[in-house]
Amino acid sequence: MSLRDKHIVIGISGSIAAYKIATLVRLLRKAEASVQVIMTQEATQFITPLTLSTLSNNPVYVDYYDQKSGEWNNHVHIAESADLILIAPATANTLAKCAQGICDNLLQAVYLSAKSDVCIAPAMDLDMWIHPSVKNNIQLLKSYGDLIIPPGKGELASGLVGEGRLAEPEEIFQFIEDHLQANQPLKGKKALVSAGPTYEAIDPVRFIGNHSSGKMGYAIANQLRKLGAEVTLVSGPTALESPEGVQRVNVQSAAEMYAACSNSFQEADITVMSAAVADYTPIEVADQKIKKKAEDFSISLKKTTDILASLGAIKKSGQILVGFALETNNELENAKDKLKRKNLDFIVLNSMQDKGAGFAHDTNKITVINRQEEILSFDLKSKEEVAKDICDLIIAQLSK
Binding residues for CTP: 279, 289, 324, 338, 342
Interface residue with ligand CTP, options 97, 115, 226, 338 (CB under 6 A): 338
What is the spatial distance between Cα 126 and Cα 248, in angstroms, rounded to a whole number?
A: 50
Examine residue 307 and tell whether it contacts ligand CTP (CB under 6 A): yes
Residues, the chain: 400
For ligand CTP, the closer CB: 1 or 314: 314
Out of 90, 216, 308, 394, name the contact with ligand CTP by CB under 6 A: 308
Query: d(Cα 336, Cα 354) in Å, to the nearest integer?
Result: 18
Is the N-terminal amide bond of 59 cis, ω within 30° of 0? no
Class of residue 274 by CB neighbours under 10 A (exposed 0-12, middle 13-18, buried 19+): buried
Cα-based torsion angle of the residue sequence 103, 108, 110, 111 in order, rounded to the nearest 10 degrees? -110
Angle between helix axes 307-314 and 254-265 (nearest 10 degrees) is 20
Q: Does residue 312 touch ligand CTP according to CB under 6 A?
A: no
Nearer to ligand CTP, 118 or 326 (CB): 326
The catalytic residue among 210, 334, 343, 370 is 210
Residue stretches of the annotated binding site: 279, 289, 324, 338, 342
Q: Which of 123, 325, 368, 394 binds ligand CTP (CB under 6 A)?
A: 325
> In whole angstroms, what is the distance from residue 373 CA to residue 246 CA?
32
Q: Evaluate whether 232 touches 192 at the Cβ level (below 8 Å).
A: yes
User: Which range in 144-152, 240-248, 285-293, 322-330 contacts ligand CTP by CB under 6 A?
Assistant: 322-330
Interface characters, 185-214, with ligand CTP (x: CB under 6 A): ---------x--------------------
**How far is C-alpha 4 from the geometric centre of its chain's CA atoms?**
16
What is the secondary structure of 339-398 as a DSSP string?
HHHTT-SEEEEEETTSTT-STT-SEE-EEEEETT--EEE---EEHHHHHHHHHHHHHHHH
Active site (annotated) includes residue 210: yes
Query: 85 pairs with which residues across the strands?
Result: 9, 118
Burial class (CB in 10 A: 0-12, 13-18, 19+), 370: middle
With binding defined as CB under 6 A, does residue 320 bind ligand CTP? no
Residue 215 binds to ligand CTP (criterion: CB under 6 A)? no
**Per-residue contact flags (x/-) with ligand CTP for residues 232 to 261, judged by CB under 6 A:** ----------------------x-------
- Residues 133-192 touching ligand CTP, rule: CB under 6 A, are none
Which residues have CB under 8 Å from 50's CB, separation 6+? none
Residue 227 vs 348, nearer CB to ligand CTP: 348
Q: Of 24 and 348, which has the nearer Cβ to ligand CTP?
A: 348
Residue 306 within binding range of ligand CTP, rule CB under 6 A: yes
CB closer to ligand CTP out of 281 and 363: 281
384 binds ligand CTP (CB under 6 A): no
List of residues contacting ligand CTP (CB under 6 A)? 194, 254, 273, 275, 277, 279, 304, 306-308, 323-326, 338
Q: Which residues are catalytic?
A: 210
